[in-house]
Structure 1
Amino acid sequence: MLDSYCLDFFYIFLGIFILVYLAIFEYCTYVTNKPTYSRQAQTMGSYGYGECDGPHSWKEKFPNACGENQSPVNLQSSCAIVVHVETLLNPLEFSRDYRSPPSELILVNDGHTINLYPEYKGCSIPKICGGPLDGVYELHCLNLRWGPNDEEGTEHMINNKRFALELQVTFLRAGHRNKFIAADAGDAIMVAYIYQTTPIANPYLNIILEQLGPASESFKRYEIETIPVSLLAPCFSRGYFSYVGSLTHPPCIEGVRWIVHPEPLSISCCQMKKLRKTHMLYCDLKNNTRPVQELNSREVIFYD
């Protein structure tokens, strides 16, 4: 009888052990597979774009948002310092890898915006250098900004005008180990592209939009068709604005060099409607832009 009780106890203990082991294994698998780039979403829930938690309230929770060098800004040609590219020793340059498709292209809905993370396994990471940059920077990710309609979608204004969509590409200083750019925004370069609505759909944006909609889940990782980043964010060497600002979302850390390409790219009205239906944090997010900030004493340079 005693042996029977011991055997029953052993099986009960074994069952509990297996359940605990499976729970730990599942958690470790989640942590391992969870993209490190989603760590920047740790402030989720502490800010938003609504009436109660929108940009007007960020200064109360994030001291950096009170700074004098905040982004975005209104970029005006009449107020910019013009630099002719021919006078530069090293004009702005995108590396050849920028035109090659990554080995993987990961889409992550972080609850506030849509992020794209190109993975270059076994090959060189695309880089940018020259122009206003003080070194070499490596491609990190892309994200989208849009508004409630096709005339209020960009964060930056170009000569007092907004457009439908702003695509922001993040580059980190080469060798920068901390991929959580909010920890050291001074090592980040933001290259912004403006999209305006046209009758014809942009086929490259469809690759992104096919994964979106009410059924898409926040914080979930989706692998999508790989295309060269240059098809979404083309290379250029002149015709752009540059200034020093901040992250346009909390914690709004300053020290970010912005490069804004003002020549609009195309996106259709139907594509914008689909983007605005994307389910974000707690609701359908029809706006994820911050209003323009005061330029104060900063210089804006236009590289002609």
Structure 2
Amino acid sequence: MRQAILALALACAASGALADDATHAHAPGSASHWTYSGTSGPEHWAQISEAFHTCESGRAESPIDIRSTKKAPADTPRIQFSYEPVPVHLLNTGHAIQFAATPGKDSVTLGDTRYQLVQFHFHSPGEERFASRASPMDLHLVHADASGKLLVVAVQFVVGDTPNPVLGALLDDIPMNPGEEKTDNALLVNPLGLLPATKSGYYTYSGSLTTPPCSEGVTWIELKEPVTISRAQLEAMRGFYDHNQRPVQPLNGREILEVD
């Protein structure tokens, strides 16, 4: 019994640490400086800090190249979104542009589990690959359940003639310098506006955070349908951070389920 209680306590502590990793993975002012290039780039993350060892030793890392998939069983739970307009709180983390979610407001549900939105951030080019192809930019919406276990929804962007209104509103408020943040309580945005109209089709697999400490045990939901942004919006985002992407990681036998 004591061993079972200890195991449960360790599991809960690990889940809580995972949620904390998600909150601080892009946080400015980290004592262990990492980047996306050179001697502090992805190939060297594990050598920067002992806390980053999973970036090299992990066997279920993200991002991945989605090629071969398996149809999900008909009774597979579908993800449900519950987002609403919230005040803007943006951080320029030194690695990405990140939106800090309002606690208790936005969430997704998968099966019987509810995951609260913690933050979302952007990568350019997109980190995920689809038959070796990457989108010009992607969005990662990071959620955590009550125990701290993570679920990330990934959205791919494509360039078109129509700008995205929510991204446009955020661009007006992005802090210019790394380490700066900005809160605009007068401006309400709904993260749902950064998602495609059709959210029922997606790929799902078990992976990790794509930034140090590269913690595993993360459920990934890769939405199939992309969202259109304008060329001007893409270039504006790239003006802050370009090539903030981790290379794709080996599947190591993991299964990718396709949900329709």
What TM-score, normalized to structure 1?
A: 0.70
1:71 aligns with 2:62: yes
CA distance in 2: counterparts of 1:44 and 1:272, whole angstroms: 31
Residue 17 of structure 1 corresponds to none
1:202 aligns with 2:192: no
Tell me the alpha carbon deviations over residues 138-190 of structure 1, each in whole angstroms, 9 at most, x when there is no partner: 111110111xxxxxx100012221111110001111364xxxxxxxxxx1111
CA distance in 1: counterparts of 2:211 and 2:131, whole angstroms: 22
Residue 81 of structure 1 corresponds to 70
CA distance in 2: counterparts of 1:286 and 1:205, whole angstroms: 17
1:116 aligns with 2:78: no
- 3-state SS in 2 of match to 1:52: helix
State, as a whole percentage, how many aligned pairs show the same letter.
Answer: 28
Residue 6 of structure 1 corresponds to none
Letter aligned with residue 69 of structure 2: A
1:219 aligns with 2:175: no
Q: Are the aligned partners of 1:92 and 1:236 in contact in 2 as well (CA < 8 Å)?
A: no
Q: Name the CA shift for 1:248/1:39 in 2 (closer, same or farther; >3 Å).
A: closer
Tell me the alpha carbon deviations over residues 253-301 of structure 1, each in whole angstroms, 9 at most, x when there is no partner: 11111111121111122111111222xxxxxx42110011111110100
> Any runs of at least 4 consecutive aligned residues in structure 1 with deviations exceeding 6 A, and if so which?
none
Q: Name the CA shift for 1:118/1:105 in 2 (closer, same or farther; >3 Å).
A: farther
1:52 aligns with 2:35: no
1:161 aligns with 2:117: no
Aligned length: 231
- Unpaired runs of 5+ residues, structure 1, are 1-36, 147-152, 177-186, 279-284
- Unpaired runs of 5+ residues, structure 2, are 1-22
Q: Are the aligned partners of 1:127 and 1:137 in contact in 2 as well (CA < 8 Å)?
A: yes
CA distance in 2: counterparts of 1:105 and 1:175, whole angstroms: 26
CA distance in 1: counterparts of 2:120 and 2:160, whole angstroms: 22
Q: Are the aligned partners of 1:101 and 1:228 in contact in 2 as well (CA < 8 Å)?
A: yes
CA distance in 1: counterparts of 2:152 and 2:129, whole angstroms: 15
Residue 249 of structure 2 corresponds to 293
What TM-score, normalized to structure 2?
A: 0.81
Over the residues paired in the alignment, what is the CA RMSD in angstroms?
2.2
Residue 80 of structure 2 corresponds to 93
Q: Say which structure is richer in helix.
A: 1
